[in-house]
Amino acid sequence: MSPTVLIVGATGNTGRSVTETLPSLLQRSNALSKHRVIGLTRSLESPTEKQLAKLPGVEMMEKNWVEITADWLREHQVVRAFIASHNNPNQFAEESTFHLASLEAQAYYARTHWAIESLLGSPEFQSMLWTSLQPNVFSQFYLSSAAEFIQNYRQSGVRGPLRLHASKNAPVGIIDPTEVGIFAAYLLASDDPAAHNKAKYVLNGPEDIAGAQIVELVEQHTGLKLKDEDITYKDLVTFADSYCDYQWAQTGEAGNVITYIKYALETGWDGKCTASTTSKEVLELAAPKRTPAEVLRALLSEQ
């Protein structure tokens, strides 16, 4: 397969002229003469599509561009791309998902937080005081599958697979979200909010925990001795797929955007979300106290 130049929105106002002009330019280029053009369209039956499909070196494809993945880009050997995206409110999330597909996968909401912080940091928002709270990983989310495993075993006596979001050895300072709220309340009650203006505070819990330690907690609550084959670490794919299917399938949101949540914990797996990274202001105002073991006990009492 030849290297590909991808044109998103090939039959649109700007995409059409790109598709019409590009093939002849590629042919005249010494370096790019063997490249082909793929134009994406909503319908292969439109008159414009049929006209473009007749151009030498152009292949028209019917595909929703926001569902393009890194695997798809590699499969079609896409080396360059032109995007004429929509201007709907979700344009940033969808277009940035495409840009990141062949680079470094990043959860969509991390990009959203970055965009909001960039907006608030612009000159137009100079008069507004703001503080960004950046909790790394919520305890209930990190421990939910462990709590489910324990509860299922207690009820049925059947040992199912233990699928953990955690990696086996990377320590993460998971935090109870209620303690994020407590810290936020302290900020809101501050006599001098300007002291925290434009600050970005990292929040973690008081203790680090790795996947192997979560397994130890599970064993303590069940009396089991789990083997390596009973455990899957770094499992976010199962969660992301079910989250997309049950939470978002009927909303019309792009599944390719939502499922990028499967990459959300990679920073933690790299050992960059330990309790030691907590901002000193958090420790001074309202230091988090709830340990992973306490949160797990609370989860079990609620089920």
pLDDT in tens, 155-207: 999 888 999 999 999 999 999 998 998 989 888 878 788 899 999 999 999 99
Query: How far is 33 from 28, CA to CA, in rounded Å?
Result: 7
Confidence of residue 209 (pLDDT cuts 50, 70, 90): very high
User: Are 165 and 143 spatial neighbours (Cβ–Cβ below 8 Å)?
Assistant: no
Q: Which of 65, 1, 67, 9 is nearest to 35 (CA)?
A: 1
Most confident of 4-8, 96-100, 274-278: 274-278
- Tell me the whole-structure pTM to 2 decimals: 0.69
Please check the confidence at residue 118 and state whether its pLDDT lies above 80.
Answer: yes
Q: Which two tokens stand for residue 99?
A: 């840009």
Q: Output 146 or 72, whichever has higher pLDDT.
A: 146
Query: What is the model's pLDDT at position 248?
Result: 54
Confidence of residue 80 (pLDDT cuts 50, 70, 90): confident
Which residues are CB-neighbours of 52 under 8 A, at least 6 positions away? 10, 11, 16, 19, 20, 39, 58, 60
Query: What is the model's pLDDT at position 117?
Result: 85
Q: What is the mean pLDDT of residues 10-31?
A: 85
Q: Output 112 or 12, whichever has higher pLDDT.
A: 12
Query: How far is 57 from 19, CA to CA, in rounded Å?
Result: 10
Q: What is the mean pLDDT of residues 265-272?
A: 88
For 106-132, give the DSSP string: --HHHHHHHHHHHHHTSGGGTTS--EE
Q: Which of 132, 163, 147 is nearest to 262 (CA)?
A: 163
Q: Output 86 or 74, whichever has higher pLDDT.
A: 74
Query: How far is 169 from 57, CA to CA, in rounded Å?
Result: 50
Query: What is the model's pLDDT at position 82?
Result: 82
Q: What is the mean pLDDT of residues 39-52?
A: 88
Q: What is the mean pLDDT of residues 286-290?
A: 94
Query: What is the model's pLDDT at position 187?
Result: 87
Domains of the chain: 4-120 (3.40.50.720), 131-302 (3.40.50.720)
Query: How far is 84 from 64, CA to CA, in rounded Å?
Result: 13
Q: What is the mean pLDDT of residues 123-151?
A: 92
Please check the confidence at residue 287 and state whether its pLDDT lies above 80.
Answer: yes
Confidence of residue 97 (pLDDT cuts 50, 70, 90): confident
Query: What is the model's pLDDT at position 274?
Result: 97
Confidence of residue 105 (pLDDT cuts 50, 70, 90): very low
Query: What is the model's pLDDT at position 91?
Result: 77
Q: What percent of the chain has pLDDT over 90?
A: 42
Q: Which of 5, 34, 9, 46 is nearest to 22 (CA)?
A: 5
Instruction: Give the burial class of 6: count Cβ atoms within 10 A of its Cβ; 0-12 exposed, 13-18 middle, 19 or more buried.
Output: buried
Query: What is the model's pLDDT at position 9?
Result: 86
Radius of gyration of the CA atoms of the chain, in A: 25
Q: Which two tokens stand for residue 5?
A: 């130049």
Query: What is the model's pLDDT at position 253?
Result: 60
Classified as helix, coil or strand, 252 is coil
CA 66-37-45 angle, to 5 degrees, is 65
Q: Where are the alpha helices (DSSP H) in 57-176?
A: 70-75, 91-101, 108-120, 139-156
pLDDT in tens, 225-266: 999 999 999 987 776 666 555 555 565 665 556 555 666 788
